[in-house]
A = this chain, B = another copy of it.
């Protein structure tokens, strides 16, 4: 664990990197964000004084988020210690992970992509719940889901 000073605009972490760092903001302001395939930024969170900010990715998986400084800041950097995670805490972290991805997708991906991601991630659920509930989970109407499925099946 060490304390460092960063200047406005400085990038602490890039999407795609392997990363196991946690940043605690002593003073200043950081943000984390993703960049979609059109190059557009989507801010996931702001972290002012006393906040903790990190990409919630497991140690061996490349992370999704960029982290940079919006103001000159003083922060402490800690290494994540996965060995010390109780299974109980591990499941909380995993849940945060899922939520992080969901928030980012809701902000940056169109309904089709959210649907496809859902199908890949929970193929079993699809079989078990009515379509309108999938729509409801995706944040669209049943009508929209119906049309979008039609579109997908047409294109193959």
Q: Is A112 an interface residue (CB 8 A)?
A: no
Evaluate contact between A125 and B48: CB separation under 8 angstroms: yes
- How far does the alpha carbon of A8 sit from the alpha carbon of B102 in the complex, in Å? 27
Residue A119 lies at the interface, judged by CB distance under 8 Å to chain B: no
Report how many copies the assembly holds: 2
Assembly CA distance A129 to B129 (angstroms): 42
Binding site for B on A (CB under 8 A): 29, 31, 33, 41-46, 48, 52, 70-71, 88-89, 91-93, 95-96, 99-100, 102-103, 106-108, 122, 124-125, 128-129, 133, 136-137, 139
What are 25 A-B pairs at a CB distance below 8 A?
A29-B125, A29-B128, A31-B129, A31-B133, A33-B136, A41-B136, A42-B139, A45-B137, A46-B122, A46-B125, A46-B129, A46-B137, A48-B128, A70-B128, A70-B133, A71-B128, A89-B89, A92-B93, A95-B96, A99-B99, A99-B100, A102-B103, A106-B106, A106-B139, A108-B139
